[in-house]
Structure 1
Amino acid sequence: MNKMLEVIVQNAEDAKRAEAYGADRMEVVSAISEGGLTPSYGAISEIVKSSKLEAMMMIRPHSFSFVYGDADIRAMKRDIEVAKEVGAAGIVFGALTKEGKIDTALLEQVIKWKGQLKLTFHRALEDASDIEEAYQVLRSYGRDIDQILTSGGTDSALDSLPRLKRWIEDSRKMPDSFQILVGSGVTSTNIAEFQEALHHTDYHVGSGARAEGHFASQLDSQKLAILKEHILN
């Protein structure tokens, strides 16, 4: 069973360190203070050149909500083309309707536009009006969605361990299985607690992989080593 530690990066220096310190994949974003938005063409180009790690490019044009209008959708389509042009491995995307349901119409367009790119549906899931219903909708797209990035519905994934455990076990039973990518609040100091409860393979780490626990500091080799050690064991 493959095991993976995905790390958030924002620039080429981050990308080099992520590779050197043992990360398996990078999620490339801009504006992390806004929760992560689409990186610029220049930024994603330099990041892909700087590291051999797979790069998952955020496709999120604004932070106002996960509801998108026609101009937003046109921008997202173009950004997906950019992801292909620069050699990204995949995209990170999520969208809801005004009623808080998964926007399946837009999701199906994105699935068509992405071609061979991998697709992670991001934590827009946490904003759904009914998270269990939303999970079941995403589950039905298991052939086309590679991963769901989720905290299980709480600010910290540590507060949703029972739900995450249930979803992880469910995803492993699916014929065309997709992975649950556990993220939000994962750190080197609590990864053992996560693993004791979940015995999982795929984690997403942001500030928890940073030297001082925030994005103004660099990636920390020791923290990444601890995270990897627990995931591999």
Structure 2
Amino acid sequence: MSNRALLEVIALDAEDAVAARTGGADRLELVTDMAADGLTPSRETYARIRAAVDIPLRVMLRLADGFLAGTPAAADALVQVAQGLRAEGADEFVLGFLDETGDPDLVTVERLMVALDGCRWTFHRAIDHAADRDSLRKQLADLPGLDTYLTGGSPAGVDDGLPTLLAEAARGGEPGYEPRLLVGGGLRLDHVPALRTAGVDAFHIGGAARPGGWDGPVAADAVRQWRAALDA
């Protein structure tokens, strides 16, 4: 069995997707509006990216900045968006919501599970803002399709979160820790050796794939540098 690490790259459009794929990305996270830390792209954007590349696409389900689902009407809107993306052919997703106390918003997440109908999904960096990471994992453990946690280990990202990430990597297979650990959030190439040594096999980059910042496109060469580091 290959121990090749998974490299997931954020894509905003088809141009990003093609560059990321060319550079060696295994999967894309599709978002819009990175000023709000990534919101749900349109069905049309999804369709253009799906037509442009043949690698897996995980689509963000999030309509407003922050980790609260908002009003019941906002949650209704999110469910409708999820249903629309499913109708467009999307079959992998990224989501995560907390309530006002920092516990997982199970009502909203479980409503989305119905719309996703068994699709695989990532619980994103909302875990880094949770009141209790371990409790959150155990509360979500039986949800269908949850196969990944995207986390920096801390709200501030990997620099601060590295000890947490290494500790969680060591717990793989325990109840609540079966989903794959996908490390992202201020991730740098110099973090990779310690994470790989700890058994982490999935990495997520956004700005690191864009030498010109978020106003510029994904650069295939930047992605290629990460692919080489992960394969070393």
For the criterion TM > 0.5, the same-fold answer is: yes
The aligned runs of 1:35-50 (5 Å cut-off) are: 35-50=37-52
Aligned-pair distance for 1:173?
4.6
* 1:188 Cα deviation from its structure 2 partner: 3.5
1:230 aligns with 2:229: yes
Question: Are the aligned partners of 1:25 and 1:53 in contact in 2 as well (CA < 8 Å)?
Answer: yes
Tell me which amino acid in the other structure corresponds to 2:162: L
Q: Match for 2:73: what amino acid?
A: A
Which structure has the higher relative contact order (CA within 8 Å, separation 6+)?
2
The letter of the residue matching 2:202 is: D
User: What is the match of residue 73 of structure 2?
Assistant: 71
Find the aligned partners of 2:163 and 2:71 in 1 and give their Cα distance.
Answer: 35
Question: 1:215 is matched with which residue?
Answer: 214
1:30 to 18, 29, 32: 32
Count, aligned residues: 230
Contact 1:16–1:51 (Cα < 8 Å) also in 2: yes
Structure 1 unaligned segments of length 5 or more: list them: none
The one-letter amino acid paired with 2:38 is: G
Task: Tell me how far 1:76 sits from its aligned partner.
Answer: 1.4
* Structure 1 letter corresponding to 2:207: S
Normalised TM-score (structure 2): 0.89
Residue-by-residue CA offset, 1:130-155 (whole Å, 9 max, x unaligned)? 333223323x2365311111111231
What SS is found at the alignment partner of 1:146? strand
Question: Does the Cα contact within 8 Å between 1:188 and 1:209 map onto a contact in 2?
Answer: no
- Residue 231 of structure 1 and its aligned partner are, at CA, apart by 2.2
Q: Within 1, Cα distance between the matches of 2:168 and 2:117?
A: 27
**Deviations 1:37-62, CA, capped at 9 Å, x for gaps:** 01112211111111111111110011
Deviations 1:181-218 (A, max 9, x none): 1110113454345435x331101101011123x21122
Counterpart CA distance in 1 for 2:96 and 2:86 is 18
SS of match in other structure, 2:166:
helix
Distance across 2 between alignment mates of 1:115 and 1:6: 23
Identify which of 83, 87, 110 aligns with 1:85. Answer: 87
Which residue of 1 is the match for residue 157 of structure 2?
156
Query: One-letter code of the match for 1:229?
Result: A
- RMSD across aligned C-alpha pairs, in angstroms? 2.2
Change (3 A) 1:31 1:21: same
